[in-house]
Structure formats: structure tokens, C-alpha cells
Amino acid sequence: MLSPALRTKRYIWRDWLMSYLFLLPALGFFLLFVAYPMLKGIYISFFNHTLNQFEFVGLDNYKFLFHDETFIKSMRNTVLIVLIAVPIVIAFSVFVAMTIYKKSEWLRSLFRGIFYLPAVSSVVSITVVWASIYDPNFGILNYITSFFGMDPIAWLGDPDTALYAIILVLITTSVGQPIILYVASLGNIPASYIEAAQIDRANSGQIFRKIIWPMLMPTNLYIIVITTINSFQVFAIIQLLTSGGPMYETSTVMYGVYEKAFVLGNFGLASAMGVLLAIVIGVISMIQFKFLGSDVEY
């Protein structure tokens, strides 16, 4: 990097010092506000920690959670949300990106913008309008389904539909970034690859499977990882639309953490839930990395 003339010992030492000084603010903020709370969360999870209590209880919080029906239900809902939302988000985003990436710059920006709208506007605004759309008495969704002879449904109040109603809102807020990334990746695939395949009379299905999809793999990995993490974290939509109800049918681990800590004041139990969620996410991210990607650059 530097010419030998500049590589004197004193210079190198000063260069190191400067580098550490430049890193200091980042490291300071990171250690104080990310690393320390992470360790503190693990520590608190072994305590019965409420507003006026702090007592070591070993693994009791964890033991309690493994037998707690609402926690198990929340974990099931969380996994269900991820399993349903992630594939739909990926498939929909690839489909939209394939359709728009060859269009004029103007049209591409327009569509990217439209599909990004729900992600960029406040989640509170999104839930306000969806609450009105889903309203059992005067919601527009029931008005539309009534034309098909359907009886009104309390979309967010019925245990059979509530979770899916939540997932739909989650999907609309999740596809924006994947579409932007897929459009960018598709634009990077050299046209000659596809032309060559066309000369060899490959049909569009083959071209997609054999050329386009493999070329999208690095982007796929990134999108799958961030969409999975986002789906695991869904909180505001649930808190504002259903508060985890009816009967914990839409409660997720993240919502449970909030409820345990900030509604019921049990920080120890909430921290244990946070730790378990982090472990689940960590394991799933590792599996995704192992199966999907080896050529991701850092």
C-alpha cells in the first residue's frame, strides 16, 4: 500500500495510533449500546428481575418458558410468519423485478417507488389504514367480499384469519427493498449470456433456471437473510393491529418480549425470551449461509 520509504517504524506506529483514534467513536458507541446490552441481556435472563426485585434464579426463566403455553404459541406464530412471508416476499419480488427491469428508467423508478412506499412511510400510518380496511363493520375488504356472497369477517378478530391478515400487511411492507436489489442485480447480468442461450434455443423457463436464478444467488442470500430477520422482528404491526390477540393467536416472540417487559414489568423473563429468539435467528442465519452462499463478499 505504501512505498518502502514511508514505512519507517515510527511512521507505522503513528499510523496505528491514528487508525485507533478514528475507530474509537464507532467502537465506543458499539460496545456501550450494542455489545454491553447484549451481554447484560444474557445476564438478566438468569434473574427474577422486576421493577422492585432482583434475585438470581438460575435457569428458572428458561424452564418456565419451555412450559409456557403462550410462549410456545408465540414461537409457533413467529416461525409460521417467517415460513409464509419469506417465500412469498422472494417470489413476488423476483417476479416484479423480472417484469420491470428492462423498462425505461422512468417506469422502473416509478414501480420501485410504488412498491417501496409502504416500507418508507411510517408503520403507524400503514396500520391505521389497514385497521380501517379490515374493520368488521365498515371495512372496505368486507364490502368487496360481500359482492362474492361472503359474510362479513372480523379479519383481525377471528382466530382463523388474524395471523394471515397480519402476514399480508407484513408482506406489503417487506417487498420494497428486495425489488430494488433484484432490479439492480438483474441489470448486472451481461446481456450476452442470455443472447447466447437464446441462440441455442433455450426457452425462457430454462434461461431463468439455468442463467438468471444462479446469477441472482448472492443477492438471494442477502435478501433471504434480511427478510427472515425482519419477519422475526415484526412488532409494530401486531402491537397496533391486534395486541397479540385474539387469544394470543397473533402474538410473536418479539411481541411477547414487549408484553412481558413493558406491560407486565418482568425484565428477567423478557430477556430470556430475547436470548432464545436471538439463538433461533442465529441458527437459522447460519443454516441459510451454509446452504445458500459461499461467494458473498465482505
Partner 1 sequence: MRLNRSPIISNIIVAACALLFIFPFYWIITGAFKVQDVAVAIPPEWFPLEPTLENFETLFKNPVWRWTLNSFIVAGGEMVGVCLVASMAGYVLAKKSFPGRVIIFSMFVAAMALPKQVILVPLFTMLADFGWIDTYKGLILPAIGWPFGIFLMKQFAQTIPGELMEAAKIDGCSEIRMFYSIILPLLKPAMGALAIFTFINGWNDYFSQLIMTRSTPMMTLPLGVATLKGEYTTPYGVLMAGAAIASIPMITIFVLFQKAFTQGLTMGAVKG
Establish if 151 lies at the interface with partner 1 (CB under 8 A). no
Establish if 150 lies at the interface with partner 1 (CB under 8 A). no
Question: What's the rounded Cα separation, in Å, for the pair 181 and 222?
Answer: 10
Whether the link from the prior residue into 246 is cis, omega within 30° of 0, is: yes
Do 126 and 173 form a contact (C-beta atoms < 8 A)? Answer: yes
User: What one-character-per-residue DSSP string does 136-176 give?
Assistant: TTT-HHHHHHHTTTPPP--TTTSTTTHHHHHHHHHHHHHSH
Q: How far is the CB of 73 from partner 1 (least distance, A)?
A: 19
Establish if 282 lies at the interface with partner 1 (CB under 8 A). yes
Region 69-108 residues binding partner 1, contact defined as CB under 8 A: 92, 95-96, 98-100, 102
Establish if 111 lies at the interface with partner 1 (CB under 8 A). yes
Q: How far is the CB of 43 from partner 1 (least distance, A)?
A: 8
Q: How far is the CB of 206 from partner 1 (least distance, A)?
A: 11
Q: How far is the CB of 77 from partner 1 (least distance, A)?
A: 16
Contacts with partner 1: how many residues (CB under 8 A)?
Answer: 103
Cell of 62: 428458561
C-beta of 76 vs 116, nearer to partner 1:
116
Q: How far is the CB of 76 from partner 1 (least distance, A)?
A: 19
Q: How far is the CB of 58 from partner 1 (least distance, A)?
A: 18
Question: What's the rounded Cα separation, in Å, for the pair 112 and 119?
Answer: 11
Residue keyed to cell 382463523: 160
Region 155-194 residues binding partner 1, contact defined as CB under 8 A: 172, 177, 180-181, 184-185, 188, 194
Establish if 66 lies at the interface with partner 1 (CB under 8 A). no
Closest by Cα among 231, 235, 229, 204 to 88: 231
Could you tell me the maximum CA-CA distance found in the chain, to the nearest angstrom? 84
Measured CA distances, 49 to 28, 64, 276 (Å): 27, 14, 17
Establish if 292 lies at the interface with partner 1 (CB under 8 A). no
* Distant-in-sequence contacts of 187-193, Cβ < 8 A, 24+ apart: 187/101, 188/215, 189/215
Establish if 258 lies at the interface with partner 1 (CB under 8 A). yes
Region 129-148 residues binding partner 1, contact defined as CB under 8 A: 129-133, 135, 137-138, 140, 143
Do 177 and 118 form a contact (C-beta atoms < 8 A)? Answer: no
Q: How far is the CB of 259 from partner 1 (least distance, A)?
A: 11
Establish if 114 lies at the interface with partner 1 (CB under 8 A). yes
Region 189-228 residues binding partner 1, contact defined as CB under 8 A: 194, 198, 203-204, 207, 218-219, 222-223, 225
Region 230-249 residues binding partner 1, contact defined as CB under 8 A: 232-233, 235-236, 239-240
Closest by Cα among 290, 230, 219, 233 to 86: 230
C-beta of 70 vs 172, nearer to partner 1:
172
Reduced to 3 states (helix: H, G, I; strand: E, B; else coil), residue 55 is strand
Establish if 27 lies at the interface with partner 1 (CB under 8 A). yes
Do 292 and 217 form a contact (C-beta atoms < 8 A)? Answer: yes
Q: How far is the CB of 208 from partner 1 (least distance, A)?
A: 8
Establish if 38 lies at the interface with partner 1 (CB under 8 A). yes
